[in-house]
Chain A
Amino acid sequence: MSNSEILMELRNVTHGYSLRSGSTLKVIENLNIQVRYGEFLGIVGPSGCGKSTILRIMAGLVKPLSGVVIFRGEVLNGTTPRISLMHQVPTLLPWLTVRENIYLALMSRKDLTERAKQLKVSELLELVELSGYESAYPYELSGGMRQRVALARALVTDPDLLLLDEPFSNLDPLTSLSLIRELEGMWFDTTLPPISIVMVSHNIEEVVMLADRVVVLGGRPAKILAEVPIELSRPRNKKSEEFYRLVDELFSLIS
């Protein structure tokens, strides 16, 4: 595979934290992960294996102890509007309306006019089907709606890469399924951002539902145990035999 096909690459990334005793506990060691153009990458692993850390390293929020992150051919140094992260809980500010919450992501952008920013926000509100709710406050929304606001905020910057940190784990199964369907729909639409998505999850069905390829992590410090391509046609059917086989396979890899 040529380099031009790679959007982001983690090269020999090691990270950990020092314990009070003074020693260093490594969470991940010598990790190499590539995110390709147009790819939906799933990362699964037991809880506490450093999945969230990897996502934060990819977002430029955390600087790894060693190793580099290459994004669009350059070393990633800190956060950039080209990469968005959506948290597990919708981190909306309760004192801002839905519109203001989304606008927050564009607030510091100097390359856009005020009008362009407002248009962009409206566009995203429509995309996540929250057009009538722009002046509502987060506490007036249901959990699923809040997560959609968070999604809109993550997408309003037109990111190339969207990072999802267990985005459905706080929702009831029905809501999460409809959100998964929506995300998949957006994903299919090549005119919409982002180019690639990385989703961290411990819900394997969710990952098989959405991902093109799954990286399975395990061990302490975490290493890549396997990389499993998911070549099912979309939209995927949860009840198909192939689907079951893949879910089983990933389960046995983790446990």
Chain B
Amino acid sequence: MLWEILAAVALSWTRIVTALAISVFAAIIVGIYSGIYRRVDRIAIPILDVLQSVPILGFFPLAVYVLASAVPVLGYELASIFLLYTCTFWNLAFAVYEGARSIPHSMIEVAELSKLSLRDRFGKIYVPAVFPKIVDQLPASLANAFYFLAASEVIALGEAEVRVAGIGTLILRYLEKGNYAGIAIGLLATALSIIAAYLFILMPLISYSDRYRFDIAQPPAVQKTPMIMGLYSRIKSIQAPLRMEPRRVAGFTHRVFPIQFVNIRYVGSDIKRLIFIVFIVVLLIFAGPGIYANIGDMWAAVSSVASAGLRLGLFSIGEALAYSFSRVLVCLALMLAISLPIAYVVSEKPGLRNTILPVLQIIASLPSPLIFPIISGFFVGGTFSRELGAVLLMSLGSVWYVFYSTLSGFNKVHGEYRELARLYRLSGINKFRYIYLPFATPSIVTGLITATGGAWNTVIVAERLGEGGRIFEVQTPGLGKLMSTLAEIADTSGLVFTVMVMTAFVILVNRLLWRNLYDYSIRALRIHEQL
């Protein structure tokens, strides 16, 4: 059994590392090109933005179908890696993008003036500049990969279910057999492998990456000391962006066109709309053959999907949607309530970074859907406790996005501002309210946007866990519950319809709520640069 477990852990890690490598590579290419070249920026970022907010898990069956039929033997492995890739890529891509955006323009000019080759540009400037950002995001990506580990290893295609070998499927098997020793050892082995990876790979990487940081807003990794040195270098480096910012002085233009400088991430709404349409068309092209092959006729497929909506009942879908959305909102509130105080404390006492963060990281990486069955007994009491269980399980999946972005927001508070709070002896609440929170708000909103995508994804897992909801299931309706039920009875057209409803809703909320909140926060805070 031990060998079985070790082999499964190794296999799962191979997939995760492969997926991470692809994610990092893709994030570097996409993030840097979008960050540095305006034209790419306009197209790539809205696409990324839409894609990251779409519940990828819902599209998974389609991706599996395409990959499995295209590549006979390795198809399922590829599908598994593809899912892991989709849950590790987005935060990396946006981090690289932001990193590339913050490369001083003068440095890019130097590269152009000295006619550096493309290879040198990437090797000497771009990649080193975004390297710390990538390293910062790796823990979150890794945690997410482990969250979806079990989901990535069980590939359901209609009635057929393929399980690729890995620790996720192994533990599921033990669970089905009631082999609790196996589950315990399996989880322990996974936890130990994560701890080892953190201690021997991530931690050294993080401290190594410190030398590439020129955005010193980050508190120094070794605390007791560089405070002074850090202060000094901070002062020196803050000048640079300030000097480069002629529009800072030109307050008038800000007044007239406040929006123009406001946004780093979201570009003109016409382009966004266009891209949205393109996205839907591409989606149809991809989804078309799948449906076509299943039913034999494209038009029949469309009408079958449409009639699935009627069959399922628009009201019951709406009801399920409302329940799931409430869960997502409660989940976000919960994540924020957890993240704000902890991140605040960690950023106030950078010494804690080396103690609290590794612990959090390890907790984050533990594959919660695998652990949850063990504690799910506590949450089967009544409706309320089941709701609590679902929200908790959802939070475990995306709390890290909120936490890390909140922390990075708090870390953006420069040393001088921290000194200000001490000089004028601001109370904890005032310091939080007037200095820390405003500084961190854009980052927090960005984190919430990512986390919403994550929460919609986890809703599918959290509302109904295990075949037939054997392990855990909410009693009230839910879109995730509906989806997994439909997947189990191989109702493809119903599934496609539900996924479309969810996707449309997520995009709509993203557009109507989050965008505006982000823009509003930037405007209300009058932050025009340095973020």
B527's partner among A53, A94, A170 (CB-CB below 8 A) is A94
**Chain A neighbourhood of B222, CB < 8 A:** 20
Most buried by A among B238, B425, B426, B430: B425
**Chain A neighbourhood of B426, CB < 8 A:** 104, 107-108
B526's partner among A16, A53, A84, A94 (CB-CB below 8 A) is A94
**Chain B neighbourhood of A140, CB < 8 A:** 251-252, 254-255
Quote the shortest CB–CB distance from A242 to chain B (angstroms): 33
Pairwise interchain contact A139-B423, C-beta atoms closer than 8 A? no
A89 in the interface (beta carbon within 8 A): yes
Pairwise interchain contact B248-A139, C-beta atoms closer than 8 A? yes
Partner-binding segment picked from A56-64, A66-74, A120-128: A56-64
Pairwise interchain contact A139-B251, C-beta atoms closer than 8 A? yes
Pairwise interchain contact B423-A53, C-beta atoms closer than 8 A? no
Pairwise interchain contact B225-A89, C-beta atoms closer than 8 A? no
Given contacts A87-B416, A139-B248, contact A108 B526 (CB under 8 A): no
What CA separation (Å) do A137 and B527 show in the bound complex?
Answer: 11
A27's partner among B228, B243, B417, B425 (CB-CB below 8 A) is B228
B118 in the interface (beta carbon within 8 A): no
B434 in the interface (beta carbon within 8 A): yes
Most buried by A among B222, B232, B423, B524: B423
**Chain B neighbourhood of A16, CB < 8 A:** 228
A56's partner among B225, B226, B231, B435 (CB-CB below 8 A) is B231
Pairwise interchain contact A94-B226, C-beta atoms closer than 8 A? no
Quote the shortest CB–CB distance from B252 to chain A (angstroms): 8
A77 in the interface (beta carbon within 8 A): no
What CA separation (Å) do A17 and B228 show in the bound complex?
Answer: 7
B282 in the interface (beta carbon within 8 A): no
Chain B interface, >50% SS class:
helix
Given contacts A85-B419, A89-B242, A96-B434, contact A62 B526 (CB under 8 A): no
Pairwise interchain contact A94-B525, C-beta atoms closer than 8 A? yes
Pairwise interchain contact A94-B528, C-beta atoms closer than 8 A? yes
Given contacts A52-B235, A139-B251, contact A17 B226 (CB under 8 A): yes
Pairwise interchain contact A89-B425, C-beta atoms closer than 8 A? no
Pairwise interchain contact B232-A52, C-beta atoms closer than 8 A? yes
**Chain B neighbourhood of A165, CB < 8 A:** 235
Interface residues in B288-306 (C-beta closer than 8 Å to A): none
**Chain A neighbourhood of B243, CB < 8 A:** 170
Given contacts A81-B425, A107-B426, A108-B427, contact A15 B228 (CB under 8 A): yes
**Chain A neighbourhood of B248, CB < 8 A:** 139
Interface residues in B383-419 (C-beta closer than 8 Å to A): 414, 416-417, 419
Pairwise interchain contact A143-B422, C-beta atoms closer than 8 A? no
Q: Which residue of A lies closest to B527 (CB)?
A: A94
What is the total number of residues of chain B having a CB less than 8 Å from a CB of chain A? 40
A19 in the interface (beta carbon within 8 A): yes
What CA separation (Å) do A165 and B235 show in the bound complex?
Answer: 10
A141 in the interface (beta carbon within 8 A): yes
**Chain A neighbourhood of B422, CB < 8 A:** 61, 78-79
A18 in the interface (beta carbon within 8 A): yes
What CA separation (Å) do A137 and B525 show in the bound complex?
Answer: 10
**Chain A neighbourhood of B269, CB < 8 A:** none
Quote the shortest CB–CB distance from B354 to chain A (angstroms): 13
Pairwise interchain contact A79-B425, C-beta atoms closer than 8 A? yes
Quote the shortest CB–CB distance from B6 to chain A (angstroms): 36
Pairwise interchain contact A139-B254, C-beta atoms closer than 8 A? yes
What CA separation (Å) do A245 and B242 show in the bound complex?
Answer: 35
What CA separation (Å) do A174 and B525 show in the bound complex?
Answer: 31
B424 in the interface (beta carbon within 8 A): yes
Pairwise interchain contact A84-B423, C-beta atoms closer than 8 A? yes
B375 in the interface (beta carbon within 8 A): no
B239 in the interface (beta carbon within 8 A): yes
B229 in the interface (beta carbon within 8 A): yes
Interface residues in B214-254 (C-beta closer than 8 Å to A): 222, 224-229, 231-232, 235, 238-239, 242-243, 248-249, 251-252, 254
Quote the shortest CB–CB distance from A58 to chain B (angstroms): 12
Quote the shortest CB–CB distance from B138 to chain A (angstroms): 22
Quote the shortest CB–CB distance from B201 to chain A (angstroms): 20
**Chain B neighbourhood of A93, CB < 8 A:** 417, 434-435, 438
Quote the shortest CB–CB distance from A186 to chain B (angstroms): 20
Q: Which residue of B lies closest to A105 (CB)?
A: B424
Interface residues in A137-182 (C-beta closer than 8 Å to B): 137-143, 157, 165, 170
Quote the shortest CB–CB distance from B249 to chain A (angstroms): 6
B423's partner among A59, A89, A137, A170 (CB-CB below 8 A) is A59
**Chain A neighbourhood of B434, CB < 8 A:** 93, 96, 104, 107
**Chain A neighbourhood of B423, CB < 8 A:** 59, 61, 79, 84-85, 105
**Chain B neighbourhood of A139, CB < 8 A:** 248, 251, 254, 526, 528
What CA separation (Å) do A103 and B420 show in the bound complex?
Answer: 13
B224's partner among A18, A48, A62 (CB-CB below 8 A) is A18
What CA separation (Å) do A61 and B415 show in the bound complex?
Answer: 11
A131 in the interface (beta carbon within 8 A): no
**Chain A neighbourhood of B420, CB < 8 A:** 91, 104
Q: Which residue of A lies closest to B530 (CB)?
A: A94
Pairwise interchain contact B528-A108, C-beta atoms closer than 8 A? no
B242's partner among A105, A106, A170 (CB-CB below 8 A) is A170
Given contacts A104-B426, A143-B249, contact A62 B227 (CB under 8 A): yes
**Chain A neighbourhood of B227, CB < 8 A:** 17, 62
Quote the shortest CB–CB distance from A121 to chain B (angstroms): 13
Pairwise interchain contact B435-A108, C-beta atoms closer than 8 A? no
What CA separation (Å) do A93 and B414 show in the bound complex?
Answer: 11
What CA separation (Å) do A59 and B235 show in the bound complex?
Answer: 17
What CA separation (Å) do A72 and B526 show in the bound complex?
Answer: 41
Top 6 nearest A-B pairs (CB, nearest first) are A140-B251, A17-B225, A91-B416, A18-B225, A95-B525, A105-B424
23 A-B pairs whose Cβ atoms sit less than 8 Å apart in the complex: A17-B224, A17-B226, A18-B224, A53-B232, A56-B231, A61-B419, A62-B227, A81-B425, A84-B423, A91-B414, A91-B417, A94-B527, A95-B526, A104-B426, A104-B434, A107-B430, A108-B426, A108-B427, A137-B251, A139-B528, A140-B254, A170-B239, A170-B242
Known pairs A56-B228, A87-B235, A94-B525. 20 more at Cβ < 8 A? A20-B222, A52-B231, A59-B423, A61-B419, A78-B422, A81-B424, A87-B416, A87-B419, A89-B416, A91-B414, A91-B420, A93-B435, A94-B527, A95-B525, A104-B426, A105-B423, A106-B424, A107-B430, A139-B526, A140-B254
